[in-house]
C-alpha cells in the first residue's frame, strides 16, 4: 500500500495500528487455490489472524476454517462458518472445548492422543452422538527446509507414527466415535515448493496405507501445508507455479485412490502475512552511548515476532518510515515498554526520522497481535482496520484504559 494511503489511515485511526489490504488477501487466496487441483479444499488456519471480519472474508472466498481453541471455534461460528466447514486441531483440547465442538457438530475433531479419543467417546455417549474424528499423526518424515518442524522430531503434536496402528485399533473399539481421516502438519514457513510436494506425497502414501491396514475409510485427508512467505533479505519467495506443476503430477498418481476422500491443505501465514502492515508512531528519537534509538508508541507488546520473540534468528522485519527516503542511518527501533527486549528493529538502516513520523512494519498480517503479549504493561490493544478499494473498515476497535480492569474484582477484604 502506498505511503500516502497508510499515512491517511494512521491519521484517521491513530497509532499503533494494524492495516490489512483486502486485495492482497484475496490474491494470495487465489494463488493458493489455483495452485491446487480443483478437488482440493483450503482451510484458513485462523491462528494466524483470528479477527472476525477476516474470517468472514475467507468464508466468502470459499475457504473452510481450522480452529485451535474454543475461542477460535466460537469466532468461526460467529463468522458464519457452517459446522461442516470447521475442523479443530490442538494438542490440549479440554473437556469443555470438546463438548463445545461436539455440540456444534463440526466436520472433524483432529485427535492428538488416544486419551483424547477416549474422552470424546465418553462425551459423545453422554450426548447420544456419534462423533467424527480424524487422527493427527507425527510420522518419521518432516518437511525439509521448513523453519519450524512439527513432525519427524519429538513434539507434543499428534500421535507418534510408531504408535499409529495401535492407536487406530484402540480408536476402532470406541463405539461413539467414527475415525474418518488423517491430519499431518509437517511444519511452517517452508519456502521450497518441491519439498512441500515431497512431504505431501509422503502424507498421501502413509494415509492410504494406514487406511487399508487399519481398516477405516479415508473420508478426510488434511495434508497440512506450511506455505511460507519471504520475510527477510535472503528469502526466496515460494514458487507456487512449481508447486502447482509438481503437485499435479503427484495428484494424477493418487487421485483415483482418493476419489472418495475430501482432501485439504491448511494455511494461515501464506494467506495473511503479506497483507498486513503495522504502523507505529515515533515518540522520541535519541542517542545513547553512540547508538541511536527511535522510541515508538507500539512495540513487542503488539508485534512480538518483529521483536524476535519466538524466533531464533534475529533478523529485522522489512520496515520503512512513511514519506521519508533521505539521510539513511543505523538505528534501533523500540516500543514503549520498560524492558530492554522491546526492540522491534535492531541496527536497522532507515532514513533520518523525527518524532511524529510513522514507521511501517511490513509482512505483519499473520501472527501479529494474536501472538503478542498484549497485556504486558497495560498499553491499549492496537486498533485493526481493513482497506478495500479506497475505503477503510474497522475490524477491532482500539482498547481504552478502562479495558484493563474489565472483568477484575476490587479487593474485598481487609488484610
Ligand X SMILES: Cc1ncc(COP(=O)(O)O)c(C=O)c1O
Smallest gap from Cβ 74 to ligand X, in A, equals 19
Please identify, using beta-carbon distances, which residue of 184 and 337 lies nearer to ligand X: 184
Among the listed residues 300, 294, 270, 282, the one whose alpha carbon sits nearest the alpha carbon of residue 363? 270
Torsion angle of C-alpha atoms 31, 36, 39, 41, degrees rounded to 10: -60
CA separation for the pair 145, 166 (Å, rounded): 31
DSSP string, 40-71: -EEEEEGGG---HHHHHHHHHHT-EEEE-SHH
Residue 109 neighbours by CB under 8 Å, 6+ apart? 87, 88, 93, 98, 101, 102, 120, 131, 132, 133, 134
State which of positions 88-147 bind ligand X (CB under 6 A): 89
Catalytic amino acids? 338
Residues that contact ligand X, how many (by CB under 6 A): 17
**What does the per-residue mask of binding to ligand X show for 310-349, with x meaning CB under 6 A?**
----------------------------------------
- The answer to whether 250 touches 260, Cβ cutoff 8 Å, is no
**What does the per-residue mask of binding to ligand X show for 58-97, with x meaning CB under 6 A?**
--------x----------------------x--------
Residue nearest to ligand X (CB): 268
**Using the rule CB under 6 A, which residue among 108, 176, 180, 188 binds ligand X?**
188
Smallest gap from Cβ 92 to ligand X, in A, equals 13
Contact range with ligand X by CB under 6 A, out of 91-99, 263-271, 278-286, 394-402? 263-271
**Using the rule CB under 6 A, which residue among 48, 164, 321, 343 binds ligand X?**
48
**What does the per-residue mask of binding to ligand X show for 270-309, with x meaning CB under 6 A?**
x---------------------------------------
Q: Is 226 exposed, middle or buried (0-12, 13-18, 19+ CB in 10 A)?
A: buried
**Using the rule CB under 6 A, which residue among 132, 269, 303, 363 binds ligand X?**
269
State which of positions 199-238 bind ligand X (CB under 6 A): 225-227
Q: Which long-range contacts (CB under 8 A, 24 or more apart) does 202-205 make?
A: 202/139, 202/141, 203/139, 204/250, 204/254, 204/258
- The answer to whether 29 touches 58, Cβ cutoff 8 Å, is yes
User: Can you tell me whether residue 283 is helix, strand or coil?
Assistant: strand
Q: Does 28 bind ligand X (CB under 6 A)?
A: no
Please identify, using beta-carbon distances, which residue of 183 and 379 lies nearer to ligand X: 183
Judged by the rule CB under 6 A, the positions of this chain that interact with ligand X are: 45, 48, 66, 89, 150, 185, 188-189, 225-227, 266-270, 366
Amino acid at each position: 500500500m502506498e505511503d500516502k494511503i497508510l499515512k491517511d489511515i494512521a491519521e484517521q485511526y491513530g497509532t499503533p495500528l494494524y492495516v490489512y489490504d483486502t486485495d492482497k488477501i484475496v490474491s494470495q487466496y487465489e494463488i493458493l487455490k489455483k495452485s491446487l487441483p480443483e478437488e482440493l479444499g483450503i482451510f484458513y488456519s485462523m491462528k494466524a489472524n483470528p479477527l472476525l471480519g477476516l474470517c468472514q472474508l475467507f468464508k466468502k472466498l470459499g475457504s473452510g476454517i481450522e480452529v485451535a481453541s474454543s475461542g477460535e471455534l466460537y469466532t468461526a461460528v460467529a463468522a458464519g462458518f457452517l459446522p461442516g466447514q470447521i475442523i479443530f486441531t490442538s494438542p490440549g483440547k479440554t473437556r469443555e472445548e470438546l463438548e463445545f465442538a461436539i455440540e456444534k457438530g463440526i466436520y472433524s475433531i483432529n485427535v492428538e492422543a488416544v486419551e483424547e479419543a477416549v474422552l470424546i467417546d465418553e462425551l459423545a455417549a453422554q450426548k447420544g452422538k456419534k462423533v467424527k474424528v480424524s487422527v493427527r499423526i507425527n510420522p518419521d518424515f518432516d518437511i525439509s527446509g521448513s523453519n519450524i518442524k512439527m513432525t519427524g522430531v519429538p513434539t507434543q503434536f499428534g500421535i507418534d507414527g510408531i504408535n499409529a496402528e495401535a492407536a487406530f485399533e484402540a480408536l476402532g473399539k470406541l463405539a461413539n466415535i467414527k475415525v474418518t481421516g488423517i491430519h499431518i502438519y509437517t511444519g511452517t514457513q517452508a519456502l521450497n515448493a518441491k519439498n512441500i510436494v515431497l512431504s505431501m506425497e509422503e502424507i498421501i502414501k502413509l494415509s492410504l496405507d494406514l487406511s487399508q491396514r487399519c481398516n477405516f475409510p479415508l473420508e478426510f485427508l488434511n495434508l497440512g501445508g506450511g506455505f511460507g512467505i519471504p520475510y527477510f533479505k535472503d528469502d526466496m519467495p515460494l514458487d507456487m507455479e512449481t508447486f502447482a506443476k509438481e503437485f499435479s503430477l503427484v495428484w494424477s498418481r493418487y487421485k483415483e485412490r482418493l476419489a472418495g476422500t475430501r482432501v485439504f491443505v491448511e494455511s494461515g501465514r501464506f494467506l495473511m502475512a503479506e497483507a498486513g502492515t503495522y504502523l507505529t508512531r515515533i515518540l522520541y528519537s535519541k542517542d545513547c552511548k553512540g547508538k541511536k534509538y527511535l522510541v515508538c508508541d507500539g512495540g513487542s507488546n503488539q508485534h512480538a515476532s518483529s521483536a524476535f520473540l519466538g524466533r531464533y534468528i534475529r533478523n529485522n522485519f522489512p520496515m520503512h518510515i512513511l514519506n521519508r527516503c533521505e539521510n539513511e542511518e543505523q538505528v534501533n527501533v523500540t516500543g514503549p515498554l520498560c524492558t530492554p527486549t522491546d526492540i522491534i528493529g535492531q541496527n536497522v538502516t532507515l532514513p533520518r526520522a523525527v518524532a511524529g513520523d510513522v514507521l511501517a512494519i511490513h509482512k505483519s498480517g499473520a501472527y501479529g497481535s494474536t501472538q503478542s503479549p498484549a497485556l504486558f504493561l497495560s498499553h491499549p490493544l492496537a486498533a485493526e482496520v481493513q482497506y478495500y478499494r479506497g475505503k477503510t473498515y474497522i475490524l477491532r476497535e482500539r482498547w481504552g484504559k478502562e479495558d484493563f480492569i474489565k472483568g477484575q474484582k476490587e479487593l474485598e477484604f481487609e488484610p
